[in-house]
């Protein structure tokens, strides 16, 4: 299994890193692996597997007061921290990375940008996507990819400001219209159903 071989290499480099120079060697191996490996899932698995092994190794270091053991523990903690950073970057990269689009998007947004932004803010506020952990900009980029639109951060915020400036009691025109239309559709369907039963 290739990922164990690479994880073994990273664990070995981390466990030997008891000086700044050896730690730089570990970091160089880590960076090299993350930059050269193209399979994002493989990187994720290898880093997680390596991190688990380093936690176990750290846990079983003898609890001596000797400076050599303390130094090794400190460098193992740093290695785990570096791996955590790479995992965080990988998660962020996968969320915001531009994925290849079809030449023509399958769907086209035919509403206004303000209406789409209203929907995006509503979904984020209700924590419907990734329990609300996804930022507005990440959601805007996601919807932009779906509909073949380039929703710039500034445009998104300007649309939100337009919504905030509305003077009516309800400032969510699009969501209100959506709710109203959906309720009307269900009423029409109920009426059709009742007519069929007669």
- Which tens digits make up the pLDDT trace of 14-33? 888 778 888 888 888 888 88
Least confident of 61-70, 108-117, 134-143: 61-70
Q: Please state the rounded mean pLDDT for residues 77-87.
A: 88
CA distance 184 to 133: 33
pLDDT at 69: 57
- C-alpha angle 117/96/171, rounded to 5°? 10
User: Sorting pLDDT into bands at 50, 70 and 90, what band is 101?
Assistant: very low
Q: pLDDT band at residue 102, thresholds of 50, 70 and 90? A: very low
Q: How far is the C-alpha of 111 from the C-alpha of 183, rounded, in Å? A: 20
Q: Give the pair of three-digit tokens for residue 70.
A: 């303390």
pLDDT at res. 78: 87
What share of the chain in percent tops pLDDT 70? 87
pTM of this structure = 0.49
* Number of residues written out for the chain: 198
Mean of the pLDDT values across residues 178-191?
96
Mean pLDDT, the chain, rounded, equals 84
Confidence of residue 99 (pLDDT cuts 50, 70, 90): very low
Mean pLDDT of 66-87: 80
């Amino acid at each position: 299994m290739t990922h164990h071989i690479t994880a073994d290499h990273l664990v070995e480099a981390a466990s030997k890193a008891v000086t700044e120079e050896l730690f730089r060697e570990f970091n160089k191996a880590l960076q090299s692996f993350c930059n050269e490996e193209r399979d994002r899932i493989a990187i994720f698995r290898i880093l997680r597997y390596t991190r688990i092994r380093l936690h176990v190794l750290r846990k079983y270091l003898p609890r001596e007061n000797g400076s050599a053991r303390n130094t090794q523990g400190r460098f193992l903690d740093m290695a785990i921290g570096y791996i955590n950073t790479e995992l965080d970057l990988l998660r962020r990269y996968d969320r915001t990375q531009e994925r290849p689009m079809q030449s023509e998007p399958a769907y086209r947004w035919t509403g206004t940008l303000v209406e789409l932004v209203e929907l995006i803010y509503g979904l984020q506020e209700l924590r419907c996507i990734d329990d609300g952990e996804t930022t507005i900009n990440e959601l805007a980029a996601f919807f932009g990819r779906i509909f073949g639109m380039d929703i710039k951060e500034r445009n998104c915020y300007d649309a939100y400001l337009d919504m905030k400036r509305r003077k009516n009691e309800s400032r969510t025109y699009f969501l209100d219209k959506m709710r109203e239309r959906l309720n009307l559709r269900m009423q029409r369907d109920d009426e059709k159903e009742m007519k069929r039963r007669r």
